Amino acid sequence: MKKTLIVNLKRFGDIFQTGHLISTLKDKQPNHEIHLLCYDECASAAKTLKGLTKVHSLDRKKIVTYYKNPIYSDGLAFNEIQKKTQTIQEEGYDRVINYSNDSVSTYLCSFFASSKTAISGISFTSKQTISYSSESAIVLNDIVTQTDFTPFNLNDLYHDLVDEIYTPSDREKVKSNKTHDKTALNNLNRLREIKNSDTSAVSIVGFQICSSSPLKDIPFETLKNVIQSVYSHPNMVPILIIAPTAQERDYSNKINTLFENRLVSVEADFIALPSVLKNIDLLVSPDTSVKHLADLVETPVLEISLGYAPFLKQGTINPRSAIITAPPHLRIFKEGGESEERIREVNSLLSDQLIFQTILTLLGNENTEVNNYLSNFCVYRPVKVIDGIYHMPVSGPTNGVFEAKRVLGRAIIQKIFKGVIDENLFELAYGKIDRKDIQAAIEDEKQALSIVTKELLSTLRGLIQTQESKSKAPAFIEALEKLLSRCFDRNLAAIPTLVFRAQIESLNSDSLEANFKEVEALLYKLKDNLQGSLFVFKVCEEVGYGIKSNPRAKETQREGTL
């Protein structure tokens, strides 16, 4: 029987996100054994995922204690790791998937690698250079982490690592207790009956009130006002969803006091939580692991993306969901990238009316036109495209040039690695983005491509001269460094340059002459990729010529029609 090991050493939300990949793998090969390696503290979340045969875990706290405490020898930490990894290796895996893509997981995947074990993702070679299993591993490791435009959701890239495309399926992805399911359904229907004897006419809106950081939480006054609007609606019932911790209980009590303790607060661990989420109609949540769990049980989510929450990479992927965010071209998604004071200032501008009107739209209760409420924040919806899910702006003060570059960035990656372009995505873009902004983005990117192309030709010339005379090597190195510095530019020409850098850094040749030949081949490949990017712009323009001008594209961005 075939065996696959997924190495995911990240947090709860990332563990739940793995459920989509597990489901896809089981759809393709139902008898395939799938194991997961995580840290001890996340094992409880992993064990809720359907399709897993076995969960392995590392005691991170013990390992760190051994390693950092001067009382203990570092050897104890390494012994602890070796003892666990040796047991895992003895399972005899056919494939190991590096899901978390960090240095620790990469070392572990390299350890598990053998002549019989294929690695999906990145691993280290014996020379400590990075080995990429596929082009998508480069996108995952080098492009999505570097570029501003983040054209892919991580879930799509994890699927591409194993040559699959994410497609929503009917397969249950999370385990739930039947008794908990029945209890949750009965209790929530009683709440519905309080509003209306026809329970089908009443929607339960769950509020996940806390995240891992106060900077990502919905501001207290905003949250209170939204709950009040839902509470006052004749066909909606709000409930508070909290984890079994003292901190969240206290926060829930603080909110409930304002409603004379009339709100229902549901305290659930990862075993009971799926039963709750399956039986509500909508979850309103900041960036938390709960939103990922809601995606797995296919409950719509209104995600409130604040602070450093990276919604373009890890936002909800349910097409029935939505994401509210400050304009992403103004956001800094890196933790610690901007001051807490600045984040709180931006968060304070979030309108409770925008949240409430979006709730109404997602529940299909009313045809909603939102005007004044969208002056500061935008609404995005996940849409199904040819190679996964794309987050498309639907209202608010989005920046058309920024959004056009996101679309073009995805198409460039498709062209470079797959040789195809999703023209339907261009058609969608023309329906949401003013064509003048798309054209402005293309013209800007053409200039950037021209600069990189000139530097590429200079580098090629330097390489040829160096092969003829080693005294010319300093000029070649200078030209190469200048070319590689383009990886940090805030334009799409950085994408093919990042691919080139990744391939340069993974060179394994033993001789200088062989390295020169490989570098020369990669430079010509970069030239092809730059020309491919130019072809993408041409196709986008041609698609635009075939589409009638959309007068609502600019109006939608200004007025905020949802």
Listed residue (170, 237, 185, 232) closest to 207, CA to CA: 237
pLDDT tens-digit readout, 51-61: 999 999 998 88
For residue 78, CA distances in Å to 65, 82, 89 come to: 12, 6, 16
Q: Do domains 3-133 and 178-386 have the same CATH topology?
A: yes
- Under a CB-based contact definition with an 8 Å cutoff, are residues 108 and 6 in contact? no
Per-residue pLDDT at 497: 96
Measured between alpha carbons, how far is 313 from 306 in angstroms, rounded to an integer?
14
Tell me, letter by letter, the H, E, C secondary structure of 236-281.
EEEEEEECCCHHHHHHHHHHHHCCCCCCEEEECCCCCHHHHHHCCC
Predicted pLDDT at 366? 56
> Across the strands, what pairs with 302?
284, 322
Average pLDDT along the chain:
90
Strands 264-267 and 301-305, bridge-based pairing: unpaired
pLDDT tens-place string over residues 367-386: 555 554 556 899 999 999 99
Q: What are the sequence ranges of the domains in the chain?
A: 3-133, 135-160+401-562, 178-386
3-133 maps to CATH 3.40.50.2000: yes
Cα gap 314→208, rounded to integer Å: 17
Query: Once rounded to an integer, what is the mean pLDDT over residues 61-66?
Result: 83
Q: What is the pLDDT of residue 230?
A: 97
pLDDT tens readout for residues 27-38: 988 999 999 999
Check pLDDT > 60 for residue 445: yes
112 burial level (CB within 10 Å; 0-12, 13-18, 19+): buried
The pLDDT value recorded for residue 561 is: 42
- How high is the pLDDT of residue 556? 42
Q: Is the pTM of this model over 0.85?
A: yes
Cα distances (angstroms) measured from residue 77 to each of 41, 107, 128, 156, 529: 18, 15, 22, 35, 45
Amino acid at 484: L
Neighbours of 190 (CB within 10 A): 11
Report in angstroms the alpha-carbon separations of 446 from 420, 442, 481, 483, 486.
20, 6, 22, 17, 14
Q: How confident is the model at residue 68 (pLDDT cuts 50, 70, 90)?
A: confident
Q: Output b/e per residue, 129-164; b: 16+ Cβ within 10 A.
A: ebbbbbbbbbbbbbbbeebbbbbbbbbbbbbbbbeb
Cα 78–88–20 angle (5° rounding)?
115
* Residue 6, pLDDT score: 96
d(CA 225, CA 308): 24
Residues of the chain with pLDDT > 70, as a percent, come to 95
Residue type at 543 in one-letter notation: V
Strand 95-98 relative to strand 301-305, pairing: unpaired
Q: Taking residues 337-354, what's their average pLDDT?
A: 93
What percentage of the chain reaches a pLDDT higher than 90?
69
Q: How far apart are the first and last CA of the chain?
A: 50
Q: Where are the beta strands (DSSP E) in 317-453?
A: 322-325, 378-385, 388-395
| pLDDT for residue 327 | 94
At 61 the pLDDT is 86
pLDDT tens per residue across span 486-542:
999 999 999 999 999 999 988 877 766 777 888 999 999 999 999 999 999 999 999
pLDDT score, position 236: 96
Distance CA 238, CA 192 (A): 10
d(CA 390, CA 311): 11
Distance of alpha carbon 255 from alpha carbon 421, whole angstroms: 49
φ/ψ (deg, to 5) at 3: -130, 140
Q: CA 116, 119, 120, 122: dihedral to nearest 10 degrees?
A: -170
Would you state the pLDDT for residue 369? Answer: 53
**Mutual orientation of helices 494-505 and 400-418 as an angle, nearest 10°?**
40
Give the model confidence (pLDDT) of 234-290 as tens digits.
999 999 999 989 999 999 999 999 999 999 999 988 889 999 999 999 999 999 999
- pLDDT grade, residue 83 (50/70/90)? confident
* Residue range 178-386, CATH number: 3.40.50.2000
d(CA 288, CA 282): 15
